[in-house]
């Protein structure tokens, strides 16, 4: 065997050993890439949930305003009837009673509409808080993935460890969503 062949075999053996030492890093990067994809999907779905809940809250506030306007219009008409002189007193009192009955009914409806709208706004805030955690998780996982990939270029495991720290922080951010109300 010649010296060149011996040297080539030694280099190949070293290369194979080096590749084996990088397997845990490559595996970690694959797992982190999957976690990035999961965090991204969960974040997008949570943002969509927040937008849909915001639309529902807006619709509920619009309904509240419509009821409020109707109630105000009825109160104005009732006030107007009370100061006008009407020849048919029975008709005037029936109309006034009808307006008063509607007003009493609408007071409860207004209260219910307002409570529903406020509950939906709370739901929006909660969804936005969850979405923000997923966004942070995604960013931290991506940072961890990029820093870990530097290990492949520099062959220094310190980058892998640093990437693991960011990745663990990203997973913690995603899991912290479960602690939110």
Q: Give the domain ranges of the chain.
A: 24-179
CATH level 3 topology of 24-179: Helix Hairpins (1.10.287)
Residues 78 and 96: beta-carbon distance below 8 Å = yes
Cα-Cα-Cα-Cα torsion 76, 106, 52, 140, nearest 10 degrees, comes to 100
Tell me the per-residue pLDDT of 110-125, one tens digit each, with 9 for 90 and over: 889 999 999 999 999 9
Cβ density class 26-57: b for 16+ within 10 Å, e for less: eebbeebeebbebbbebbeebbebbeebbebb
Query: pLDDT confidence of 22, banded at 50, 70, 90?
Result: confident
Say if residues 126 and 180 touch (Cβ distance below 8 Å).
Answer: yes
pLDDT mean across residues, the chain:
85
Question: What confidence tens digit (pLDDT) does each residue in 69-94 have?
Answer: 887 877 777 777 666 666 666 776 77
With tokens 């030694």, the residue in question is 10
Cα–Cα distance measured from residue 42 to residue 48, given in angstroms and rounded to the nearest whole number = 10
Closest-CA residue to 124 (of 64, 41, 61, 173)? 61
Task: Evaluate if residue 2 carries a pLDDT over 70.
Answer: no
Task: Show the DSSP H helices in 84-157 as ranges.
Answer: 89-154
pTM for this structure? 0.73
Q: How far apart are CA 181 and CA 84, in angstroms?
A: 55
Pick the closest to residue 173 from 122, 143, 130 (CA basis). 130
**Residue 59 CB neighbours (<10 A):** 13
């Amino acid at each position: 065997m010649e010296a060149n062949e011996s040297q080539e075999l030694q280099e190949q053996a070293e290369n194979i050993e080096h590749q084996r030492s990088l397997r845990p890093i490559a595996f970690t990067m694959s797992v982190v890439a999957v976690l990035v994809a999961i965090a991204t999907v969960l974040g997008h779905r949570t943002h969509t949930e927040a937008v849909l809940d915001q639309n529902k809250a807006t619709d509920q506030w619009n309904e509240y305003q419509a009821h409020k306007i109707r109630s105000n219009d009825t109160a104005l008409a009732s006030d107007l009837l009370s100061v006008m002189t009407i020849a048919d007193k029975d008709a005037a009192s029936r109309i006034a009673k009808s307006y008063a009955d509607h007003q009493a009914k609408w007071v409860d409806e207004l209260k219910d509409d307002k409570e529903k709208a406020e509950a939906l706004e709370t739901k929006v805030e909660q969804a936005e808080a969850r979405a923000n955690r997923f966004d942070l998780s995604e960013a931290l996982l991506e940072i961890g993935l990029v820093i870990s990939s530097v290990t492949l270029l520099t062959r220094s495991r310190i980058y892998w460890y640093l990437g693991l720290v960011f990745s663990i922080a990203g997973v913690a951010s995603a899991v912290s969503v479960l602690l939110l109300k």
